[in-house]
Amino acid sequence: MSLAFDDYGRPYIILRDQGQKKRMKGLEAYKSNILAAKAVANTLSSSLGPKGMDKMLVSPDGDVSVTNDGATIVEKMEIQHPTAKLLVELSQSQDAEIGDGTTGVVVLAGKLLEQALTLLDKGIHPLKISDGFDRACDVAIKHLETISEEIDIQANEHEALIQAACTALGSKVVSKRKRELGKIAVTAVLDVADLARRDVNLDLIKIQTKTGGSVEDTRLISGILIDKDMSHPQMPKEVKEAKICLLTCPFEPPKPKTKHNINISSAEDYKKLYLQEQQYFVDMVKLVKDSGANIALCQWGFDDEANHLLLQNELPAVRWVSGTDVELIAMATGARIIPRFQEITPEKLGKAGSVKEVQFGTSNERMLVIENCQCTKAVTILIRGGSQMIVDEAKRSIHDAICVIRNLIKDNRIVYGGGSAELACAIQVLQYADEVSSVEQYAIRSFADALEGIPCCLADNCGLNPITSVAQAKARQLQESNPRIGIDCMELGTTDMKEQRIYETLSSKKQQIQLATQVVKMILKIDDVIAPDDY
């Protein structure tokens, strides 16, 4: 790339490594950016909807993952192109904020860019296009709010929440068991939710995976599951009415943190030291035992000697419990974490109905289940499945479902899915376009077309004729002025999404439209790309 030439046609050297840089300007830059971003959107479009397909992604290390989750797909694609990367971040920020609808947002952005490209060809200034998109976006968001409905999340045993979770799970590989999984997700979220503040701390829901069994075996443990076993094989496998002592100090003689060494000059001293060490173990076990604890969980390890003593004193113990687990157990059982043995008091113990070691299938792996905790504030979802890939995908799907439920607790307004909300917005935006006198009306109209792209894409993925079905749905929406008519993806015989109970959160839909518009605006504003030559 060279910016200028002197009178003899020799280029000026103005920039560092100027020969290895490439520059694209004006229309060329817009088009190249749009095409790159569209390519990403096209990859994802076949994953949209209940009949969307999965992608198989192989990492550089040869790890295979199969997924339908938009954010995961784009993340694992390891996209290099800078504009396409914007779409990756778009999907990830939807994931961070809402957790669901990560595919939809990218597909919508792709459709908007596609429309922008035709507008650019007509010679409309890119900023006019983005102004138009912005205005259309505002109209669409307003309309979404008018068609949204408030639902009662408590009614009918949280039926509405379960339905919303089912919608989120509908497009995933686990869709066959969506009802069961949806129920699990709803119970889990409600267990940890602070309904008064409408706040859900997702850190309190632990998702543990274990290959083997089938997806039906997935269950919710109202307590904690830790991937550890008792420190000694002969310890009892189950402790009922457990009083848990949570320790963050090792079963070892205490060590000063300051650098130290011990000078032993005589045999007696050595013996004394040995005896003292022995005494430590006895004292420790005694302290724990005296407090009334009947199980000890320790963040650190313990000496074999200590282990033996614990067995003799019939005090089951678990070692090397991770810090986060210790915290979760403390939350769930109401225990206080104890930093040294001298501080053990009966009040600091946590209480749980049972602590049980469970074994899976024929494999020798064991896990500890702490159930019926005193104050259930942390829960675990144990996901089972035939293979690692299925388990991983199930984990992602349940995460999506949990996010949807959380969003509904925060804001209980919903819109109906199946492309119906997008269609309703498209109709509204089209009407608005006719009121605009300036050039922007073309952009606004195109925005409506892009919104229609979502139901089109849904219908296409379900094997329906996209144009016919969208046209029918649109006609019925207009005739009956019913914004709930969408695409009958599951072929249930009705296109009214209220009857099909396809619920989506208003916040997710709003976010999708806003984020997609924002990123498209950003891409349209770039008229100059300076990059290394291999770009």
Which residues from 333-372 bind another protein, rule CB under 8 A? Answer: 336-337, 339-340
The residues, any chain, with a CB within 8 Å of residue 309's CB and separated by 6 or more, are: 281, 282, 285
CB nearer another protein, residue 85 or residue 501: 85
CB nearer another protein, residue 93 or residue 209: 93
Contacts of another protein in 402-441 (CB under 8 A): none
From the CA atom positions of the chain, what is the Rg in Å?
30
Contacts of another protein in 177-206 (CB under 8 A): 199, 201, 203-204
CB nearer another protein, residue 159 or residue 411: 411
> What does 83-118 look like in DSSP terms, one character per residue?
HHHHHHHHHHHHHHHTSS-HHHHHHHHHHHHHHHHH
Q: Does 276 bind another protein (CB under 8 A)?
A: yes
Q: How far is the CB of 345 from another protein (least distance, A)?
A: 11
What character string, x for contact with another protein (CB under 8 A) and - otherwise, covers 204-243? x---------------------------------------
Q: Does 19 bind another protein (CB under 8 A)?
A: no
Contacts of another protein in 508-527 (CB under 8 A): 510-511, 514-515, 518-519, 521-522, 525-527
Q: What is the bridge-based pairing of β-strands 295-298 and 149-150?
A: unpaired
Q: Does 497 bind another protein (CB under 8 A)?
A: no
Q: How far is the CB of 512 from another protein (least distance, A)?
A: 10
What character string, x for contact with another protein (CB under 8 A) and - otherwise, covers 44-83? --------------------------------------xx
Which residue is listed with tokens 């005193």?
Answer: 374
Q: Does 90 bind another protein (CB under 8 A)?
A: yes
Which parts of 376-463 fold into alpha helices (H)?
388-410, 420-435, 440-461
Please answer whether residues 429 and 444 qualify as being in contact, where contact means their C-beta atoms are separated by less than 8 angstroms: yes
Nearest alpha-carbon partner for 60 in 76, 73, 44: 76
Q: Does 258 bind another protein (CB under 8 A)?
A: yes
Q: Does 148 bind another protein (CB under 8 A)?
A: no
Q: Does 126 bind another protein (CB under 8 A)?
A: yes
User: Quick one: which of 4, 364, 437, 493 contacts another protein (CB under 8 A)?
Assistant: 4
DSSP state of 485: B
Residue 54's region, left for phi above 0, alpha for psi from -120 to 50, else beta, is beta
Dist CA 519 CA 512 (whole Å): 11
Give the number of residues in contact with another protein, rule: CB under 8 A.
77
Other Cβ atoms closer than 10 A to 510: 21
Contacts of another protein in 303-332 (CB under 8 A): 323-324, 326-328, 330-331
H or E element that contains 416: strand 413-416
Which positions are catalytic? 69, 102-103, 400
User: What is the SS3 assignment for 432?
Assistant: helix
